[in-house]
A and B are shown apart, each in its own frame.
Chain A
Amino acid sequence: MVLLSVRDLRVEFATSGGVVTAVDGASFDVGSGETVALLGESGSGKSVTAQAVMGIVPKPAGRVCGGSISYDGRDLLAPGVAKGLRGREIAMVFQDPLSSLNPVFRVGAQIGEMFRRHRGASRREARAAALDLMKRVGIPAASKRLDDYPHQFSGGMRQRVMIAMALALSPRLLIADEPTTALDVTVQAQIMDLLTRLQAEEGMSLVLITHDLGVVAGVADRVILMYAGRVVETGSLREVYEHSGHPYTSGLMASVPAVDGPRDRLVPIQGSPPDLLSLPSGCSFRPRCQYADEQCAEVEPVLRQLPDRPSTHQAACHHPEGVLTDVH
């Protein structure tokens, strides 16, 4: 069952250099209880997509200017709808837990605020509920740490606090935007374990936004790859990994250490990330692509099923055959 459905989403940002289309016609679905990875470099539009779903695109610079987002049959772009679902149904965890937690409030109060503001809980009830959550996300000596401030916690513990806050009202969809990027390598795995454990317990859908394929390997049911504001490939992790249908995906796969296979040499993607202010015509990946031809310069490729692959595996490339045969 589809819980979240994004169709032709367009988000524009006004910058000092001109108007930038940060998300340019992105479409994807997230099923109930599913874990989906949204992969892409910085500037690919993955975080802005998440902000659009939450209805927290920074104003007045940014605005959603096209497409639709529906959550459980409700139109999230209609006035007031996202506001009513934020925190209760859809929750979000951000990249940097230090700047994402309010420095002047105690963490117990910040978690408890969810119950006080949304459920009208008393101070004491909220405190008890916050304590339960802190224990659940594995914060040691939780009853003592309830009254500490964010700057007194380590990075990993802060992210646990963020996760506790997000989980407070048992949302059905959790969006985690680079949840481990700002953390130590040793802590990253713990946070990912925590997220997947909680996801299984709650039966919620999880959207993991990351630039790091290694983070989602073994966790995500499905991956969605974004490049320059567009979805360029989508499919199960195994399909996409073993039979990349887009040159960007195959480049990305070649540039990370193999998940379980032999450790070959790492090959970086050539060229530089796209400049959103001056995107090339047709396919945005064209300048970095070895398969590019005239068609790629003229026609913007759309997502379509790859030859001899399952219908769930789609890529937006004019020459998927070349990519498929070259890689494997």
Chain B
Amino acid sequence: MVAPVAARRRTRAGSARIRFGFAVIAVYVVAAAIGPWLFRYNPVDTRTADRLKPPFTRLSDGSFAIFGTDQVGQDLLAQMLQGARISIAVGLATLLLAGTIGVTIGLAAGYFGGWLDGVLMRLADIQLAFPSILLAIFIAALLGPSVVNVVIVLAVANWVTFARVARGQALATRRREFVDASRTLGAGTWRLVTRCVLPACVAPVLVVATVEIGHVILAEASLSFLGLGTPASTPSWGVTIANGRNYLADAWWISTIPGIALAFLVISLGVLGDALRDRYDPRLRSL
């Protein structure tokens, strides 16, 4: 009888949070998509005359460097736009790979149950009991820095969450009447899983993906900062921030500005993920 008034207020605030999250992320996606065309970035282009110029400087070629330049005279904004492209692409690719692996394993475990479920979920337990960044560092160290390797590494470190969600949905759906009905009508396992069980996973998996993508982007930046992510020639945010570390005394902006851009994106993704989770599936909070 007494659901507090706050619940009502929260729902309304929830839609504001969802709008805010989507708006900021849209800005980043658009910037990542068209920015690199507007502000050309050429990794081999070095202009010593424009080295380490502070923000709001007019450069030797007459262009205006709103965020300043780096140690080889590259425009920081152009570099960051390219970095946004890499971060978002790596994030999406990782989620796609981790989601595919995780959902497949989760569905198999939840739908078939038995020893398969036992083995797969113990594997998940082991991996959860292992700090995921360490696993990522280990694999990345062996594979060497490259964009594709980062995606593989982060997918391996993140599939467990998806597997747990998919398994939960499969367990819940397996016993529902329409699944029983389809089985009675002679539908095969493959058909049952793809037509009945898989669709039930879509919404919770999307919510989890929103929550996870911020973590993935942060992890990519951390790996790149450590020199284990994208190669030094690829200007991801982590690489740019790492490069700026050597010039902290003369050029504070190289490390700080990309970090702000990164933090703001991750905050927005966090706000959006939390709001979606609160709205559509509060049970996922414990994952």
Contacts and interface: CB of A to CB of B under 8 A. Distances in A.
Nearest to B4: A61
Interface string A274-305: 00100000000000000000000000000000
Nearest to A15: B3
A16 B7 contact: yes
B1 A13 contact: yes
A16 B3 contact: yes
A61 B5 CA distance: 6
A174 B4 CA distance: 28
B159 to A, nearest CB: 36
B140 to A, nearest CB: 44
A13 B2 contact: yes
Contacts of B7: 16
Interface in B172-190: none
Contacts of B2: 13, 15, 20, 22, 58, 61-62
A130 to B, nearest CB: 33
A14 B5 CA distance: 5
Contacts of B8: 14, 16
A276 B6 CA distance: 19
A43 interface: yes
Interface string A39-54: 0000100000000000
Interface in B3-40: 3-8
A14 B4 contact: yes
Nearest to B8: A16
Interface string A9-44: 000011110001010000000000000000000010
A13 B5 CA distance: 8
Contacts of A58: 2, 4
A218 interface: no
A58 B1 CA distance: 12
Contacts of B1: 13, 15, 20, 22, 43, 276
Contacts of A43: 1
Contacts of B4: 14-15, 58, 60-61
A15 B8 CA distance: 8
A276 B1 CA distance: 9
Interface residues of A, number: 12
Contacts of A14: 4-5, 8
Nearest to B11: A16
Contacts of A15: 1-5
A16 B5 CA distance: 6
A171 B5 CA distance: 35
Tell which of B2, B5, B6, B7 has the most Cβ of chain A within 10 Å: B2
A64 B92 CA distance: 53
A213 B7 CA distance: 36
Interface string B53-95: 0000000000000000000000000000000000000000000
B239 to A, nearest CB: 49
A58 B6 CA distance: 13
Tell which of B1, B4, B6, B8 has the most Cβ of chain A within 10 Å: B1
A61 B4 CA distance: 5
Nearest to A20: B1
Contacts of A22: 1-2
Interface string A54-73: 00001011100000000000
Nearest to B3: A16
Contacts of B6: 60-61
Nearest to A19: B5
A14 B8 CA distance: 10
Interface in A95-109: none
Contacts of B3: 15-16, 61
A16 B11 CA distance: 10
A15 B2 CA distance: 5
Contacts of A276: 1
A60 B9 CA distance: 13
B21 to A, nearest CB: 24
B199 to A, nearest CB: 30
A315 B4 CA distance: 33
B143 to A, nearest CB: 48
A61 B9 CA distance: 12
A43 B5 CA distance: 18
A236 to B, nearest CB: 31
Interface in A245-285: 276
Tell which of A13, A20, A276 has the most Cβ of chain B within 10 Å: A13
A280 B274 CA distance: 41
A227 B91 CA distance: 59
Nearest to A61: B4
Nearest to B6: A60
Nearest to B5: A14
A276 B3 CA distance: 13
A271 B6 CA distance: 32
A120 B152 CA distance: 63
Nearest to A42: B1
A93 to B, nearest CB: 21
Interface string A209-239: 0000000000000000000000000000000
A204 to B, nearest CB: 29
5 contacts: A13-B1, A16-B7, A60-B4, A60-B5, A276-B1
**Which 5 pairs between the two chains have the least Cβ-Cβ distance?**
A14-B5, A61-B4, A16-B3, A13-B2, A16-B8
Given A16-B8, A58-B2, A60-B4, 18 more contacts: A13-B1, A14-B8, A15-B1, A15-B3, A16-B5, A20-B2, A22-B1, A22-B2, A43-B1, A58-B4, A60-B5, A60-B6, A61-B2, A61-B3, A61-B4, A61-B5, A61-B6, A276-B1
